[in-house]
Amino acid sequence: MGEDDHIQKRRRDDGTEFDEVSFPPGDPEDPRNWPRWRKWAVIGSILLVDLSISWGASGFSPASTKFSKAMDVSSEVATLGLSVYVGGLALGPMSLAPLSEYFGRTPLYIIPYGCYLCFLLGSALAPNLGGFLALRFLSGLFSSVTIANFGGTIADLYPRANTGFPMSLFLWAATAGSPSGYFLFSFVAQTRDWRVVLWALLGVCGGLWLIMSATLLFCGETRHSILLLRRAKAERKRTGNENIEVPEKMKQRGLRQLFRVALTRPFRFLGTEAIVMFAALYNGYLYGLSFLFNDAFSLVFGTKGHGFDVIGVGLCFLGIVVGITLGPLTNIWQERYYRRRIWAEGGANIPEARVQLAKVASITFPISLFIFAWTSYSWLPWIAPVLASALWGWSFYTLILMTYTYTEDAYGTFSASALAGIGLVRNAAGAGFPMFARQLFVNEGYQWAGTILAFLAVVMVPIPYILSHYGFRLRQRSPWARHVIEEEDEMAKRSDGESLEGDGKERA
* Residue 66 placed within a domain: yes
* Residue 165 placed within a domain: yes
* Residue 427 placed within a domain: yes
Residues 277, 156 within the same domain: no
* Residue 255 placed within a domain: no
The residue among 235, 257, 278 that closes a domain is 235
Residues 165, 312 within the same domain: no
The residue among 193, 212, 235 that closes a domain is 235
Residues 229, 287 within the same domain: no
Number of separate domains in the chain: 2
Quick: pLDDT tens for 151-174: 888 888 998 778 888 888 999 999
* DSSP three-state, residue 156: helix
Residues 182, 52 within the same domain: yes
pLDDT given at position 348: 81
What residue type is 34 in one-letter code? W
Length of the chain: 508
Residues 164, 295 within the same domain: no
Domain with residue 386: its CATH number is 1.20.1250.20
Neighbours of 230 (CB within 10 A): 15
Per-residue DSSP letters for 307-342? ---HHHHHHHTHHHHHHHHHHHHHHHHHHHHHHHHH
Residues 326, 193 within the same domain: no
Neighbours of 301 (CB within 10 A): 24
Enclosing domain of residue 321: 267-495
The residue among 235, 255, 280 that closes a domain is 235
DSSP state of 17: E
Residues 230, 299 within the same domain: no
What is the DSSP pairing of strand 17-21 with strand 7-11?
antiparallel
* Residue 447 placed within a domain: yes
CA distances from 318 to 79, 171, 192, 425 (A): 22, 17, 22, 26
* Residue 244 placed within a domain: no
Residues 141, 190 within the same domain: yes
Q: Is there a contact between 143 and 53 (Cβ–Cβ < 8 Å)? A: yes
Residues 159, 71 within the same domain: yes
Burial 423-459 (b: 16+ CB within 10 A, else e): bbbbbbbbbbbbbebbebbeeeebbebbbebbeebee
* Residue 252 placed within a domain: no
pLDDT given at position 196: 95
Rg value, the chain, Cα = 24
* Residue 377 placed within a domain: yes
pLDDT given at position 503: 45
| Nearest CA among 363, 362, 355, 340 for reference residue 472 | 355
Residues 34, 140 within the same domain: yes
Chunked mean pLDDT (size 10), the chain, 508 residues: 58 65 85 94 94 92 91 89 92 82 89 96 94 95 89 86 86 92 94 94 96 96 89 84 76 75 84 93 94 93 91 95 95 91 84 94 97 94 96 96 91 82 90 91 93 96 95 92 80 53 44
pLDDT given at position 498: 47
CA separation for the pair 309, 297 (Å, rounded): 11
Residues 174, 284 within the same domain: no
pLDDT given at position 229: 87
CA distances from 365 to 174, 313, 390, 413, 457 (A): 18, 22, 11, 31, 7
Q: Which residues contact 46 (CB under 8 A, 6 or more apart)?
A: 109, 146, 150, 153, 170, 212, 216
